[in-house]
Amino acid sequence: MRSVLFVLLAVAHICLSSCGPQQPVFIPATDPAIQYTGRFDFTDKAKPVFMYSGCSIQTAFTGTSITLRLQDDSFKNWFTVKLDDSLFIFPSNNKEGVYHLAQNLANKKHTIAISRRTEWHAGNTVFHGFEIDNGEKLLPVEKPVRTIEFIGNSLTCGYGNEGKSNQEHFAYETQNNDLTYGTITARAFNAAYVAVCRSGIGMYQSYGGEKDFVQPKLYDEIVVGSKAVWDYKNNQPDVVLIELGANDFAKPLDSAAYVNTYIQFVQKIRSQYPNAKIICAAGPDAPDDTSVKFQTHVKAVTDHFASTDKQIYYFYFGKLNFNGSDFHPNIKEHEQMAGVLIPFIREITKW
């Protein structure tokens, strides 16, 4: 009798430890099933850091729940989550950096992608990993075979594209990089999307006329506060689009200096991406803007390479009303931009 009681107690103990609620298992950022798209600083591989709009983390997982562990510098950033066929957003304002993204899901394979909606000046973000059901695992997702890199300013960032009008001022809540002309274009080609963009930045001078806040001087940077520079050799895009100039023309500009700086920057791009098609874009312009300076200056750059590099192209976005915050394109106007860019890329790539 005593031996039977002992067996029953042992079985009860096993059931309490294995049949009751299970603690989730932590999957670190180093897991090979996690795919990173965009610029990430892997100086500490267990804590990759990123700051650019559109940087995304993708994976698949089995089980019924998933929690994200992510820490923000400023708690100002917003993220888009695509979980299977659903989409939702969240602000990264949890000081503990714990975000329960989904619970009570069907017990099967799920896909998830988390992308940063907001731009660099909202601070750096550190990704630590995921928590999933005990006994479950991450699974790799299919990697795009194409990549498009977009180098630009506030338009590429998605500044104010969810703003209600051009009289509304910037707020992080109304910046949605996931619905910019660049992301729309990349999705049209099932291409990985990489953005190197900052509001106010220029090619030769910034919106305020500063000569240090310019893309040629900051392009190698991955995140603020790190000495790490981008690994160009192992991150080769198929297409690079440069959309810089609107901020340069906001102040009196040395035209020759702008064109020469642009030419040198394109030469740098070509040296690091020997096989990429490089698009130098002008515009978009307001309907009442009769100036052709932006177009003629960018055209001068592409004309410089006309006889030596047939994979450098001139492109003009046309005119927009700028109905987003602070006279930036809204989502509908980003769709218009993508609507003219997609056929152009299709023509030069034959995709």
Q: Where are the beta strands (DSSP E) in the chain?
A: 25-28, 35-37, 49-50, 56-63, 66-72, 78-83, 86-91, 98-102, 108-116, 125-132, 138-139, 146-152, 191-197, 239-243, 277-282, 312-316
Residue 290's pLDDT is: 80
Q: What is the pTM of this model?
A: 0.93
Residue % of the chain over a pLDDT of 90: 92
Mean of pLDDT over the chain = 94
The per-residue pLDDT for range 29-88, each reduced to its tens digit, is: 999 999 999 999 999 999 999 999 999 999 999 999 999 999 999 999 999 999 999 999
Q: Does 341 score more than 90 pLDDT?
A: yes
Q: Does 161 score more than 70 pLDDT?
A: yes
Give me the mean pLDDT over the 247-256 stretch: 96
Phi and psi torsions of 255, nearest 5°: -60, -45
